[in-house]
Structure 1
Amino acid sequence: MSQHEVILLLGSNLGDGKKNIEEALEKIKEGGNEMLKFSVFLTSEPVEFVSSNIFCNIATIIRTHLSPIQLLDFVKSIEFEMGRINDSKVSGGYSDRIIDIDIVKYDDLNFISERLEIPHKKHLFEREFSRVLLNDFIK
């Protein structure tokens, strides 16, 4: 079974954001994934929608045996289990969320499907908070 190095970005702006992220990280680990590295926690304003709720964010590098789509299904199941109902791809826009888990990079794979794009270009090139979090991870 081959292992893949993946960068995930997690965010939360409902309830205790740091606690929500820590819970999601524990669920990722419990799913058989190895946690390799973490960024610092960072707070940021919402991007591409208006809200008075500030985000708590973190980036992590994991090692996983899951394929990109299997990993997407796995992180979406964590989001759902934690109470996230509206996915931005489904609803067509962003809103407050208890947890958001994005796959930013998966090995050196370039992958595009209807549900997933790797690398995650918005996090790599457009969003300032993402660039800060990913600074030590991507050279």
Structure 2
Amino acid sequence: MSQHHVVLLLGSNLGDKKKNIELSIQKLNQEVGKVTALSEFLITEPVEFASCNIFCNIALVICTHFSPIQLLKQIKRIEVEMGRTQDSSTLGGYTDRVIDIDIVKFDNLKFVSEKLEIPHQKHLFEREFSKIILKDFI
């Protein structure tokens, strides 16, 4: 099985944000693939929705054998296990969340489906906090 190098961006703005991210990293490392690089934590204001809860964010690189769709399923499963009850795609907008895990890049793949776009255009080109946290991985 071939290994894929994937850049993920994680964020949390509910509960113990840093602990939520650390637990999600642990789950990713145990259940999805080896985490090979981590950015520093970055504290940011919510983007594209109003909330008084600030975010803690981190970027990481993971090596996995999962395909993009398989990886998305694993990520969504981890989000639900950690208490995320609603996904922004089903809500039609963003809300506070225990954990959010986004696939930013997957090797050099360009992939578009109803549920997934790789590379993640908003994180790479529109969101300033993403550009800051991803600078060492892109």
Q: Same fold (TM over 0.5)?
A: yes
Identical columns (%): 64
Q: Write the deviation string for residues 23-57 of structure 1: whole angstroms up to 9, x where unpaired.
A: 00000011140111000000000000000000000
Could you say which residue in structure 1 is the equivalent of 2:20?
A: 20
Structure 2: segments with no counterpart, 5+ residues: none
Q: RMSD of the alignment, in Å? A: 0.5
Could you say which residue in structure 1 is the equivalent of 2:122?
A: 122
CA–CA distance in structure 2, aligned partners of residues 43 and 89 of structure 1: 24
CA–CA distance in structure 1, aligned partners of residues 32 and 122 of structure 2: 28
Q: 1:32 to 1:114 in 2, by over 3 A?
A: closer
CA–CA distance in structure 2, aligned partners of residues 129 and 21 of structure 1: 17
Scaled by the length of structure 2, the TM-score of the pair is: 0.99
CA–CA distance in structure 2, aligned partners of residues 32 and 74 of structure 1: 7
* DSSP 3-state at the match of 2:50: coil
Instruction: Check whether the contact 2:32–2:74 (CA below 8 A) recurs between aligned residues.
Output: no
CA–CA distance in structure 1, aligned partners of residues 32 and 8 of structure 2: 15
Could you say which residue in structure 2 is the equivalent of 1:74?
A: 74
Task: Give the residue type in structure 2 aligned to 1:60.
Answer: L
Give 1:119 deviation, angstroms: 0.2
Structure 1: segments with no counterpart, 5+ residues: none
Count of residues in correspondence between the two structures:
138
2:45 corresponds to 1:56? no
CA–CA distance in structure 2, aligned partners of residues 32 and 72 of structure 1: 10
Mapping of residues 1-139 of structure 1, within 5 Å: 1-138=1-138
Scaled by the length of structure 1, the TM-score of the pair is: 0.98
